[in-house]
Structure 1
């Protein structure tokens, strides 16, 4: 018998010996998702779009890439890669459907943010009336590594202000409302509240001012997200999805069609 087989056989014997031993009490879980538990210690993040050399040299739109870091320490949390059809980016531009894949520090694709519908004016004319993103997280406890839908974010039409609502779970339980400024150019602040009529801000999504030259010559924006207090990592991930919807809706560039 080979050495590997011997070790495997001995391991099976040891496992069988454990069957009669008392089972220790389960450790208390401090997070709803073990693979995202470290987000519980994060109160504010910064999201920065990375320049693409091909885009600058060719003059054509390329898939976006971002990094997400903890704002206070600068620690890298996720790398973000956009996945979409190239022709859709050329035709629909900022209104394109996409999947953003978030890869953690262990190089695991752990989160995906999906904009499921094409909403360009040329296709259906509903760009300013309806838009949404869905937030999915991979279940590493499952043998198939299947995906769980954590929630989604919807934009609602309003003639004066950008309005969004944040929903948790498949059933769509409303958790937060987001209101934006009348003018979204330059540095802008979107307020996270319990409802649209609430006057108490709980968190902030902010488009940072990148300087006059960069603001008008590039699309490589920087955002910050200050989470509401006392929320778990599940809601934090959904709010990251809200930030990306705001980015594509108002700061990605021309809507093309």
Structure 2
């Protein structure tokens, strides 16, 4: 019987493959023993080639640290970390790359060229005509919800001012963080007067203005200017003739500030006669260039909500649409 840790000169000092793909390190880390022999200190029993063959000892796993601040030793073959003093800090997640100039929460808009906006049906409105806060779901082209929006104002304003009412609207992401805020002041627009045109301010994040949607006066066509934070006109939005659309989609074409060919569109989708007559739950689609500034994409979303209130919202308790768009 040979002594523990003794390697026979007839046994070559090369690694022996073990189950799981692990190859044993050569002597003197391990050694050979005989069947039934206890392994030396720091090793545990390995595997032999048969009942009468020598047994290869394997290094025993290192136990976890017993003292605070001690760095655990790695398993076989791993790099050894230097000891540190004091408690070990929790791992810090790697920072996520965010495009420069993109407001927090709007990163996803850089990857898409279309959004869908669906207004929720409010049963209280449908049955008794009592105006409630509008709520919307904002989805991608595959129907996956990416944001949600909810109007905020008081009961008197909603039911007395109808579609002309002022509001703050919060747009939140799927983690319930407010990423966009829309602010609409009250404007008396009982007639198409140049001094009573509608306007909407868009903030992202809340408190930081990124643009405005301003209505332009025109006797026949609904027109809007999409403006930057300094009220500089960036794009134009033009709808169809007020008297020429019924029972179909209503398209508002997006063009450059100097006109020209359309570069995008806001479409109010026809949802059927019964739903159009008895509810104001509307569906919209917004198309814009993929490489458009993400802040202007957010402003276009605000323009869609303003268009919904001006042209497709019921007026107080009259249970009628504000315009001929129905």
Q: Cα 1:194–1:51, aligned 2, differ >3 Å: closer, same or farther?
A: same
Asked if 1:213 is matched to 2:282, the reply is no
Q: 5 Å matches for 1:214-229?
A: 214-229=275-290
Could you tell me which residue of structure 2 aligns to residue 100 of structure 1?
169
Number of matched pairs: 228
Measured in 1, the distance between the counterparts of 2:217 and 2:250 equals 19
Match of 2:210 in 1: 150
Asked whether 1:193 is paired with 2:252, we answer no
Q: Could you tell me which residue of structure 2 aligns to residue 142 of structure 1?
A: none
Residue 119 of structure 2 corresponds to which residue in structure 1? 49
Listed as ranges, the matches of 1:68-83 within 5 Å are: 68-71=138-141, 73-83=142-152
Deviations 1:134-180 (A, max 9, x none): 00112xxxxxxx621111100011002111000111x1121100000
Residues of 2 paired with 1:208 and 1:202: CA distance?
19
User: Following the alignment from structure 1 to structure 2, what is the Cα–Cα distance between the partners of residues 118 and 105?
Assistant: 32
Higher strand share: 1
**Equivalent position of 1:23 in the other structure:** none
Equivalent-residue separation in structure 2 for 1:233 and 1:153 (angstroms): 15
| Alignment pair present for 1:163 and 2:233 | no
RMSD over aligned Cα atoms:
2.9
Residue 128 (structure 1) shift: 8.4
User: Taking structure 1 as reference, are residues 27 and 63 closer, same or farther at Cα in structure 2, changes over 3 Å only?
Assistant: closer
TM-score (norm 1): 0.79
Is the counterpart of residue 174 in structure 1 residue 233 in structure 2? Answer: yes
Unaligned runs of 5+ in 2: 1-67, 70-84, 90-95
Partner Cα distance (1:236, 1:27) in 2 = 20
Q: Cα distance, 1:208 vs. partner?
A: 0.4
Instruction: Name the CA distance, whole Å, in 2 between partners of 1:158 and 1:129.
Output: 12
SS in 1 for 2:309: helix
Partner of 2:17: none
> Structure 2 length normalisation: TM-score?
0.63
Per residue, is there more helix in 1 or in 2?
1
Q: Is the 8 A contact 2:225 2:237 kept in 1?
A: yes
Counterparts in 2 of 1:118-133, with a 5 A limit? 118-121=187-190, 126=193, 129-133=196-200
Return the structure number with greater relative CO, CA threshold 8 A, min gap 6: 1
Shift of 1:228: 2.9
Q: Deviations over 1:26-76 (max 9, x none)?
A: 9673552242111111111110110113333443111111100002x2111
